[in-house]
């Protein structure tokens, strides 16, 4: 069931409702509140920007500490807007991957976003989890489908058992693109705006449908009702803030 957007100031993070049925799971999406960064990065900036590195590190300790996760258990990646998936066997920082997956208890996967789409997947049967950063290139490249296929191949995951979350990102009415980008999307995910002379693309719907096409049941998917642009007071947006902004973090792991 979808939450209703609110104008109230959010805490450090939101937990996807669909994962509440799994007490062994730690899954959350950060907001921009509760950190120590200032200026353009105010305040819970969790990476990928020109902010002071000591502030980013402190914010990570604040965020993961609030979740009860030691920062030393976190696995992240230097994201490149691609479709490669890394199998995580120990906490580390990986280079060149936009999706991480593991079946090991105590490893907390995390991806950073500031308009791109985060997706979390949990297989409660095998215990496998995945965290995905889907930029528009990753979306059209099928990164969600590739991740589910990798979970099947490596962990024996049955997609019908999986639960997924498509997180907060740029909304369809804000993601204006030219034909160079729009041409890569199926008609169902784009519409022409005659007022702006641009196409509007729905990243959430495209990534949700990749989960469904991979075999995840529609009823096992939650889609965030929030927008990095429309709810910019609570979420960082690279586009709305013209590149001078922080990064949100979306995370999943088993305790």
In the prediction, which pLDDT does 10 show? Answer: 73
In the prediction, which pLDDT does 9 show? Answer: 61
In the prediction, which pLDDT does 121 show? Answer: 99
> Is residue 160 situated within a structural domain?
yes
Can you give the pTM of this predicted structure? 0.96
> Is residue 139 situated within a structural domain?
yes
Helix/strand/coil (H, E, C) string of the chain? CCCCCCCCCCCCEECCHHHCCCCCEEEEEECCCCCCCCHHHCCCCCCCCCCCHHHHHHHHHHHHHHHCCCHHHEEEEECCCCCCEEECCCCCEEECCCEEEECCCCCEEEEEECCCEEEEEEECCCCEEEEEEECHHHHHCCHHHHHHHHHHHHHCCCHHHCEEEECCECCCCCCEECHHHHCCCCHHHEEEECCCCEEEECHHHHHHHHHHHCCCCHHHEEECCCECCCCCCCCCCCCCCCCCCCCEEEEEEEC
> Is residue 186 situated within a structural domain?
yes
In the prediction, which pLDDT does 3 show? Answer: 43
> Is residue 71 situated within a structural domain?
yes
In the prediction, which pLDDT does 4 show? Answer: 44
In the prediction, which pLDDT does 2 show? Answer: 39
Give the pLDDT of the chain (255 residues) as one tens digit per residue.
334 444 456 799 999 999 999 999 999 999 999 999 999 999 999 998 899 999 999 999 999 999 999 999 999 999 999 999 999 999 999 999 999 999 999 999 999 999 999 999 999 999 999 999 999 999 999 999 999 999 999 999 999 999 999 999 999 999 999 999 999 999 999 999 999 999 999 999 999 999 999 999 999 999 999 999 999 999 999 999 999 999 999 999 999
Domain that holds residue 78: 15-254
> Is residue 10 situated within a structural domain?
no
> Is residue 179 situated within a structural domain?
yes
> Is residue 39 situated within a structural domain?
yes
| Number of domains, the chain | 1
Residue 100's closest CA among 120, 72, 123?
A: 120
Say which CATH number the domain at 183 has: 3.60.140.10
> Is residue 3 situated within a structural domain?
no
């Amino acid at each position: 069931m979808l939450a209703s957007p609110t104008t109230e100031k959010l805490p450090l993070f939101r937990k996807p409702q669909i994962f509440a049925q799994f007490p062994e799971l730690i899954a959350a999406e950060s907001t921009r509140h509760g950190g120590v960064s200032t200026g353009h990065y105010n305040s819970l900036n969790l990476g990928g920007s020109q902010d002071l590195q000591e502030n980013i590190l402190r914010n990570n300790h604040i965020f993961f500490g609030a979740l009860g996760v030691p920062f030393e258990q976190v696995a992240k990646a230097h994201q490149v807007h691609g479709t490669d998936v890394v199998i995580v066997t120990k906490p580390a920082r990986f280079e060149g991957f936009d999706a991480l997956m593991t079946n090991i208890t105590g490893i907390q996967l995390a991806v950073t976003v500031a308009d791109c789409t985060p997706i979390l997947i949990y297989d409660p049967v095998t215990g496998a989890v995945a965290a995905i950063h889907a930029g528009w290139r990753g979306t059209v490249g099928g990164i969600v489908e590739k991740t589910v296929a990798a979970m099947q191949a490596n962990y024996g995951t049955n997609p019908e058992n999986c639960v997924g979350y498509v997180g907060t990102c740029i909304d369809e009415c804000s993601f204006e693109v030219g034909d160079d980008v729009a041409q890569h999307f199926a008609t169902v995910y784009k519409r022409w705006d005659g007022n702006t002379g641009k196409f509007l693309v729905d990243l959430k719907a495209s990534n949700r449908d990749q989960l469904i096409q991979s075999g995840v049941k529609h009823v096992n998917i939650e889609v965030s009702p929030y927008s990095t642009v429309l709810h910019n007071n609570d979420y960082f947006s690279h586009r709305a803030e013209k590149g001078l902004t922080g990064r949100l973090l979306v995370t999943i792991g088993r305790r």
